[in-house]
Amino acid sequence: MHPAHCHHCNYDLTGLPAQGRCPECGKPFNTQSYYRQQHRSDHPLMRYLRSIVLAGIALAIVLFGSLLSIAADHPLRAVVITLVIAAVPAFGALVYWRSELDEQRKSD
C-alpha cells in the first residue's frame, strides 16, 4: 500500500478509512486512487495519452485495411473486417477518455 496523503493539503491520512474527508482541509479523499492521483500528469495530452494512442492504432488499422481492400478479391468484406478489428482499440480509447473525464470531475 502506498503512503496516503491528502492531495489538497498533503495531510498524512495513515490510519484513516480508505475514503472520507480530510481532517485538515475538509476535502474528500480516496486513498485507493492515491497512486493514480500522485502519478498522473497535469498536462492534458499526457492525461489522455492512452486514448490518443488507442485512437491512433484504430486509425492505422483502418488505413492499412483500406489499402488491403484495394487489392482484395472482395473489397467490401475486407472493409467490414477492418472496421470490426478497428472497433476494439477505438472502444478502448473511448473508455479511457470517458474514465479520465469522470476522474477529472471527481477531483474538481
Q: What is the pLDDT of residues 27-55, one digit of tens each?
A: 888 776 655 555 555 566 777 888 899 99
Task: Tell me the average pLDDT across 91-97.
Answer: 91
**Total-model pTM:** 0.58
Tell me the C-alpha distance between 71 and 100, whole Å.
40
The sign of the CA dihedral 98, 46, 50, 37 is negative
pLDDT in tens, 54-75: 999 999 999 999 999 998 889 8
**Alpha helix (H) ranges present in the chain?**
34-39, 44-47, 49-71, 75-107
Q: Are 31 and 23 in contact (CB under 8 A)?
A: no
Nearest 5 degrees, angle CA 74-CA 77-CA 80? 150
